[in-house]
Structure 1
Amino acid sequence: MRVFVERNAWLGMEIALALTLVLGAMGAHSTFGAFPTRQWTDSQGRTIRASFVRIHEADVILNRGGKTVRVGVNSLSDVDQQYARAKDLASDARMWQAGGKEIRARYVGSGGGKVQLNSLGREVEIPFAEMVDADRDFVRMQMEADGQTDELAAVGGPLVKPHESETGQGELEDTNESLADAGATGIEQPGRTWTDRRGRTIEASLVRVEGGQVVLRANGSEKSVPLASLSGPDQVYVASYQARSALASAMAGDRRAGDFGGEIASGGGEVVSRPRTPEGRGGASWDRASVIAENARAREARLQEVRERHEQIARENEQWMQQAMQESVAEPAEPFSTNSDHLASVPSPSVVAPERQYDQVEVHVCTNCNNELPSRVGVGDRCPHCKAYLAYEEDANGNRKGGSTVDGLLSVRPRAVAALVCLIVSVIAGVARALRR
């Protein structure tokens, strides 16, 4: 559930009322995050031209000439499924980190080595080279969905790409030689300074991530800390580690598939055994076409695994952040103790299902600051976070509820109406006194 806001500069009663009517007529419909119209194709070859809105449960919601169209995700072509999942992620605001700073924004586009974001209606441009690895992977996913072949090649290509070996046989190799070593699960990361949301710090190295817990090693002992209790930059660092781990695990099977006399991973995830030819790896009796086809299917399976892992990480981070905000209490800042008992006393987040939260619980969100609204706040009130006026709301299907009742005009505040009535009465009384004189 999204609650839309409208800001007025109350320079005067008459100006405010005029602005309310003009803005209501011109901007009653929010167009932020609109996607371009494109052609969609289902598994039976039928096509439709429409723009993407969102993914709801197992359906893709499209807009065709102002009308809502629902299409099953699995009934679409592979290209359209990839596009829909990528744009569904892009429609949500996420934390970005570049140059030691972080910002919460939505992805808009990329080009010329720059990434365009939108933060609270303000356009922001960040160089791709300054982004952390997790954000770069996210941008590559969006480029691949948008078909930006040239731009994708300029930033290192897709997450995993086919490569011809010296023998001429098709096989898959890492796009980054050090990627598996830097992000493989179970390999301890270099030591760094960690900070929690209360300002406490600790020098430790990242060992692994287990559910909502981050396992750190400090002074030779392991300590478990809730991910939601860490600072924003530290959570981005952990998300990058998780993304690298998923990618490294997916590519590990590629190395095992390199020996064509051994086993080759198929697209379905199982292992297909092939007999070694008498001539060895380069034997003429080997069916090269079938090898290339099997490697192509394996590549698609790995890419899908990486995308699903990114989606899961985004959902978990969002749920942990919301829970941390609800459970946070004001306590004086103190040094981050290295005592394992002290760290163990930090409350752990409860286990949550991986589905999107808005599919389970109705949540009101202010579109001006992207913060969740308390249940007591509704249409006609002000956002407690950014003080913006809440003009109307929409349900999950985009239907407006509450707010204006006349041709989409924004409702006028009751106080403004009362003040205007008092002003009119005062003017009439003044005119009457002048006439009696």
Structure 2
Amino acid sequence: MSGPLEGVRILDLTSNFMGPYASLLLADMGADVCKIESPEGDTTRKVGPSRTPGMGAIFLHLNRNKRSLVLDLKKPSGIAALKRMLRSADVLLYSLRPQAMARLGLSYEDVRALNPRILYCGAFGFGQNGPYASRPAYDDLIQAAVGLPVLQSRKAGPPTYVATAIADRVVGMATSNAVAMALYRRERTGQGQAVEVPMFETFAHFVMGDHLYGHTFVPPIGDWGYARMMTAERRPYRTQDGYVGVQSYTDRHWQRFFEICGDAAMAADARFADIHGRTQHIQELYAFLGQTFETRPTAEWIRLMSAADIPIIEMNTPETLLEDPHMTTLGFFAEEDHPSEGRIRTIGIPQQWSESPPSLRHPAPRLGEHSAALLAEYGFSVAEVRDMLACGAAREPAPDRAESTNGE
């Protein structure tokens, strides 16, 4: 077995971060993902350090377990080939705006006419019933649109974006969930359907569950924003020799912590005795934590807090995470020999399955690496494949590659 989605055939018309992260999660679970790329390739092929052009670090991590087929959808034979493949696919996943899909003759109505059982899933900027329907969207725009930089600013000065593609990856995860649930329903009913996963609404759902807060009520009975999340003192705490992350949460956690610090009387202080009081005085409480943790080294804090069953962990950097004892034991950051890139480090599959364990089956592909093989698997004859390659409707990698480069 190669995962719970073994045998599911997905035609992946996504690029950049969000859509490829969704198809990555599906591919890791065993789905056969055919990554359909333009002759120029996915934009992320050029992002980050690389040994060969078009194989940047970001692309390598977003596109393992997939195979690459280059189709030029501007050519009639290219779009005709895709439509032929749709007849035997289970899922069409796309991140183009619906208007662009319609111009290609790939609206849901067009695709359903070819394959009534297909799951037609789009992940794009905005729901199609609102005034923003035709707008483009990227991670930074969606973070700004739902107010995340303003939430950040309450703790760190001017509005700023979170330092990862959080909207892309959250919406990508929601998209993979949507595909899996649609597959489940089709197994029960035999019916295909169209599913839309708009970035704006999906990310608003993610953020506002914490931060609608007082505006949950009509009229509001307090400000928006979960105060504990936004205080500048909510941060890793400096110790004598490093930093720790600490999450004292329950009343018992705090009582034990005050005892460890030699301030047991604080447990009886009305400001800190229960979660309501602590929330109202969170900034001064976090300031106390900041001062307290500086008094002892990291190892001592971890020993004392762990003995009291108070959640604590040493802070890593992305580099030290690679040597984290837990991750090392699991082999989460493994090494492998990539066919074109040499020795690379991979990111593990986090989940464990007792009966259908997923695995790393394919390294991230070169542009068009599997064009001929995929077309053949979807029913094209040797002569048809040869003709498509000859006219440029499909492409394979050039035999000679340029020297190594470094992307932005």
TM-score (norm 2): 0.25
Q: Which has the higher strand share?
A: 1
Structure with the greater alpha carbon radius of gyration: 1
Q: Which has the higher helix share?
A: 2
Structure with more contact order per residue of length (Cα contacts < 8 Å, sep ≥ 6)? 2
